[in-house]
């Protein structure tokens, strides 16, 4: 897959799973918070699940490299909140199958 298309897919997954909510923090400058509030996908894709579930689903949607990154993060409970670490631990055993990569 070309890098441009991969970047578009990553952007789509960020929008689809509403990962922008991880960046909304009171210490963020007001202009950056305003820009995040005005993003159109905030109104198209409501955030129904918790942030931890949405992060896990987004990593699964992005493929094996991102799943492996989530698995690695799940072992570092000192870096993550408990709810995110528990949800990412589900990537250890409960990962849906994905198609095998065939170079060509």
Q: Rounded to 5, what percent of the chain is helix, strand, coil?
A: 60, 0, 40
Does this model's pTM top 0.85? My answer is no
CA distance 84 to 51: 8
Return the pLDDT at 95.
79
Instruction: Give the pLDDT confidence score for residue 26 in this predicted structure.
Output: 77
Structure tokens at 30: 């007001």
Question: Are the beta carbons of 47 and 21 closer than 8 angstroms?
Answer: yes
- Say if residue 51's pLDDT is above 80: yes
Percent of the chain predicted with pLDDT > 90? 17
Of 71, 45, 64, 99, nearest to 19 (Cα)?
45
Alpha carbon distance 56, 88 (integer Å): 6
Q: Are 98 and 63 in contact (CB under 8 A)?
A: yes
Residue-level pLDDT at 103: 63
Q: Do residues 68 and 40 touch, judged by C-beta distance below 8 A? A: no
């Amino acid at each position: 897959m070309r890098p441009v298309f991969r970047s578009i897919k990553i952007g789509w997954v960020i929008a689809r799973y509403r990962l922008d909510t991880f960046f909304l923090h009171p210490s963020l400058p007001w202009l950056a918070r305003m820009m995040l509030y005005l993003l159109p996908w905030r109104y198209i894709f409501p955030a129904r699940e918790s942030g931890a579930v949405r992060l896990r689903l987004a990593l699964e949607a992005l493929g094996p490299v991102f799943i492996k990154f989530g698995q690695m993060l799940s072992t570092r409970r000192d870096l993550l909140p408990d709810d995110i670490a528990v949800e990412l631990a589900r990537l250890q055993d409960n990962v849906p199958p994905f198609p095998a990569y065939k170079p060509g």
